Amino acid sequence: MSLPAIAVRNLVKTFGDTTVLHGIDLEIPQGQVSCLIGPSGSGKSTLLRCMAFLEEATSGTISVNGEVLGFTETAQGVRERISASANRAIRAQIGMVFQQFNLWPHMTALGNVSEALKMVQKMSRKQAEELAMAQLVKVGLESRAGHYPSQLSGGQQQRVAIARALAMKPKIMLFDEPTSSLDPELTGEVLNVMRDLAAEGMTMVVVSHEIGFAATVGQNITFLDHGKVQFSGPPQEVFKKPRNPRLEQFLDTYLDRGASMLL
Amino acid sequence: MTFDINVILDQMPQIISGAGVTLLTWIVGTICAVIIGFFVAVGRRFGGMLLDNVLGFAVAILRGTPFLIQIFLVYYGGPFIGLSLDPIPAGLIGISIYGAAYYSEIFRSGFLAVPKGHIEAGECVGMTQGQIIRRILLPEMTMLVLPPSLNMAVLLMKETAVLSIITVPELTATLSAIGAQQYAFVEALSVLALFYWVLVEITGRLGHFVETKLTRFRFFNA
C-alpha cells in the first residue's frame, strides 16, 4: 500500500459557533480521481479548501505525500504554525481550480499562466511564456493566448485556470465545483480537459455536482452530509446499489434528472 | 452698462499667471493627496486595529468639516503652533490633507472590491504575500479606483478656488481682483467659470480616454 497523496485525519473545522466538518478521515489515493459529492452545505467545498490550505482546520491534520500541511506539533503536543515558506513548499504539490475561475483580469491568458513561473520559479519571461504556451496548447487555447479573461467564454476561462494550475507541475489537482458556473454547453469542454488529465494519471480531487462525470471518471466516490463522511467507495457501489439511505435520497434527485442513463 | 469681455482679456498675463498657480496647487496637491491617501488606506488595511481607528477618526473629521474652515485653520491657526506658512505652501498642505482623506476612502473601497478568490489563486500558485500585493491586489485596485479617483481630482480642482480666501494668487483671486479694479465683475466671473469648465472638460476627456483603454480588463463575472 503506497503512501496516500492526501491523508485527512480527524479534521474539524468550525466557523464561529458552526461546526462545518465533524472529524473527517479520508485518504486520497495516488494517481486516481476522487470525487466528493453531497448536498449544499455538506462541507465538501470546505474540506477541499482545507486541503488547499485556503481554510485552516480547527483541529486534525492534512498530510500531503506524508508532509503535514500548515502546522507542526511540539513535544508537548502543542500545535504550531510552520513558516510561510515551508508551507508554500508543501502547497506547491497542489494545484487548485475554482468555481469562479479567479483569473487575474489585468493579465492575458498567457500572462495568467506564466505569472507564477516568473514570480515563483524565477524563470525568464521567454522561458515562462514558452512553458505557459505549452500548457495552453494542452487545454486547446493556444489561439486565445493574447486574450484577456473578459474576452473569453466561461469555459475558456476555466481551461486557462486549469492551465495556470498545471504550469506549476503539481502532483495533485483540486477542483472546487469547476463547472458549476458554466452553462451545459461549456461544461463539456472543461470536463473533457479533466478527463484527459485523469487519463494521464494525475491525482485529482473533484468536488462536483456533475454526477455523470463522477460516475464515469471517478475511481473513488465520497459522499458527505452534515460535515461527515457518510459513505466512501468505488462508483459501482455508490451509484448502482447505494446502501446509505441519505445517499440514496441524494442520488434520486439526480437520477430523476436523467442521469440514470449514464450509470 | 455693456458686457465687455475685452476689459478682462487685456489682463491676460495676470490671468495666465493665476491659471498657473491654480494648476500648480491642483496638480501637486492632488498627487500628494493620492500618495498620502494610499498610505492611509494601506495603514488601515494592514496596520492593525489601533492604527485603523486612529486614521479612521482623522478621516472622519476631515470629511466632516468644510474645506474653507480647514484651510483657515491651517493658514491662520498655524502660527499658534509655530507653523507660519506662506499662502501657497499652506494651500498645498490644505488640498493634500483634505484630498488624502477622500482618496484613502476610495482606495479602501478598492481594496475591498478586489475579489478574495483572485488573492487565493495567487496563494495557490505559490506567490508570496508581497508578490500578491504587488502583482494582483494593486493593479486590480487601480482599475477599480480609476473612475472615482478622476472624479475626486475634478472636485479638488474646483476646491482650489477656496484658496483665494488665504490670498493664494490663483485664478479666482486674480480674476476677482481684476473684476474689482475694472468694475467688471460679471465679465471676470464669466471668464473664471469658463476657465474651470475648460480644465474640467480636458481632465474628463483624458480620464475617459484612459478608461476606454482599460475596458478590456473589466471583470467578466465578479
CB nearest to A98's CB, from B121, B135, B136: B121
Nearest-angstrom CA–CA distance, A208 and A206: 6
Q: Is A105 on the interface with B (CB under 8 A)?
A: yes
Nearest-angstrom CA–CA distance, A54 and B150: 36
Q: What is the mean pLDDT of residues A152-173?
A: 95
Nearest residue in chain B measured CA to CA from A166:
B125
Question: Chain A partners of B217 at a C-beta cutoff of 8 Å?
Answer: 105-106, 148, 150
- Does the distance separating the beta carbons of B128 and A84 come in below 8 Å? yes
Of A17-21, A49-53, A259-263, B39-43, the least confident = A259-263
Go through chain A and tell me how many residues it has. Answer: 263
Q: What is the mean pLDDT of residues A233-256?
A: 79
Answer whether B71's CB lies under 8 Å from B166's CB: yes
Q: How does the average pLDDT of chain B come out, rounded?
A: 89
Residue B217's pLDDT band, with cuts at 50, 70 and 90, is low
Residue B40's pLDDT band, with cuts at 50, 70 and 90, is very high
Nearest residue in chain A measured CA to CA from B137:
A104
CA of B91, closest CA in chain A: separation in Å? 37
Q: What is the mean pLDDT of residues A122-142?
A: 95
For the cut 50, the answer to whether the pLDDT of residue B220 exceeds it is no
Question: Chain A partners of B210 at a C-beta cutoff of 8 Å?
Answer: none
Predicted confidence at residue A256, as pLDDT, reads: 64
CA of B122, closest CA in chain A: separation in Å? 8
- Does the distance separating the beta carbons of A100 and B115 come in below 8 Å? yes
- Does the distance separating the beta carbons of A96 and B121 come in below 8 Å? yes
SS3 A67: strand
For the cut 90, the answer to whether the pLDDT of residue A25 exceeds it is yes
Query: In terms of C-beta distances under 8 Å and separation of at least 24 residues, what long-range contacts does B54-59 make, across chains too?
Result: B55/B104, B58/B101, B59/B101, B59/B104, B59/B105
For the cut 80, the answer to whether the pLDDT of residue B163 exceeds it is yes
ipTM: 0.91
Residue A1's pLDDT band, with cuts at 50, 70 and 90, is low
Question: Chain B partners of A95 at a C-beta cutoff of 8 Å?
Answer: 124-125
Percentages (nearest 5) of helix, strand, coil residues in chain B: 85, 0, 15
Predicted confidence at residue A262, as pLDDT, reads: 55
Q: How many CB atoms lie within 10 A of CB A105?
A: 23
Task: Give pLDDT tens digits for B83-129.
Answer: 888 899 999 999 999 999 999 999 999 999 999 999 999 999 999 98
Question: Chain A partners of B216 at a C-beta cutoff of 8 Å?
Answer: 148, 150-151
For the cut 50, the answer to whether the pLDDT of residue A197 exceeds it is yes
* pTM (predicted TM-score): 0.82
